[in-house]
Amino acid sequence: MKQSPDEEFKVTGDDLVRKVKEIIVAGNARTIIIKNDDGKEIIQFPVTVGVIGAVVAMPLVAVGAIAALMTHCTIVVIKR
């Protein structure tokens, strides 16, 4: 079953990691999806409320690598 987005953010590669961290800290996201300019999904990862440390670190490493390669992207946030 495809999940419908609750929020979408258009960001540059430079702002990608910062915005993903903000979303995680806000604590109201269940899943984060990052898409390229063409709307193709690049990465999707679950976010558990209150997670700290290694559980969040691995997706952020991947997001950092993606940010280095992309100029513009969309962050899709699933809250339900």
Backbone angles phi, psi at 53, to 5 degrees: 85, -135
pLDDT higher than threshold 50 for residue 4: yes
Is 54 part of any domain?
yes
- In the prediction, which pLDDT does 54 show? 47
Helix ranges (DSSP H) in the chain: 13-26, 54-69
For residue 1, being part of any structural domain is answered with: no
Domain count, the chain: 1
CA distance 29 to 12: 20
pLDDT of 26-40, one tens digit each? 888 889 999 998 999
Looking up residue 73, the CATH number of its domain turns out to be: 3.30.1490
- 64 occurs within a structural domain: yes
The packing angle between helices 13-26 and 54-69, to 10°, is 160
Residue type for position 46 = P
Which string of DSSP letters, residue by residue, matches 61-72? HHHHHHHHH-SE
Domain residues for 17? Answer: 7-78
